[in-house]
Structure 1
């Protein structure tokens, strides 16, 4: 892939970019809603919590889950086409609770110029999206309503038959903490993939880039579900 970028790789990167951003915006909107919640066991409080949990669940399965698969596909296709990938193996083995701090503290070139540096940004975006989708949002929901959705109960790295997660007391402070972390990582993923797409685009014919932008714009409109208001 030296000197060029395959259009199939680029379309996955562009589509991921246009999928992650609206999900980040949605998470910020949901965080504002969570700030208005107050503790309580009556039906009204439970209904508000469930409504917010439903919104978070949709972010995972209608946005972040799709984006993580696109980012993974982007790297897989790039590797098959001979791209040089500087994969950070340490992140794959790191416990989920440590990944947030590690990703926030990760030092990458401020202005990537090579394809390898650009794909490092794609990998960083993938890790940020994946841990948000599989760890932070599920735990936020669990502390928000006292129970994790059954479809969000899975093992690390896709292990089958994980141990069941028992019901937990509702704890809005813990729910807010996990949502704060999810918002931080989603915003980080947006920044990483934005830079990656800019750099990878520079290795392509501008006309091809323009055509891919049109294609991904049409597809992204299906996934956004936005725009989301600032207030």
Structure 2
């Protein structure tokens, strides 16, 4: 067994003001950062976005510890109800932004902060697996409860294809690490790419944010 020193790919910069943005399970490092900065007496604000209160880790602790310094927004899975970051990022400030969360959140923050000075906006995303690979092919997903069938293109995940088709789906990390999008697999053979499922679960469950089909068709309990 080889043991290496831990690496920090999301280090805190020593400044006076911080804007900490978390989406879903991305609150894990953000909460730790906030507690550390609070002890150091730094000025900070937190924006925590998620699907619902029930799916928001550390929510009670955050509301208690950072009352008056935290904004919490739940969109209930509605793409039209997501938090608008424009007012927070339209004007570059002497603030450093630290953001951690799923891919759509990261892309939104990058788009809104593109005019900020280099080195002011920092990102940590969960990318332990390749969601899309060069040899991926399209396949079909049948939704048993609705009776509808959705085609998953070779360059899209099941989760993204379902969203594109107008289905509200639960997700958080969107990298196969948190388990939020676990869905019952009724038929078909899955190409499992997550880091969550136990071996005995792989015949009946699938993480739709990263996993695909080995067979040409999957039937899901949706």
Same fold (TM over 0.5): no
TM-score range, shorter-chain basis? Answer: under 0.3
TM-score (normalised: structure 1): 0.25
Report which of the two has the higher share of helix. 1
TM-score (normalised: structure 2): 0.26
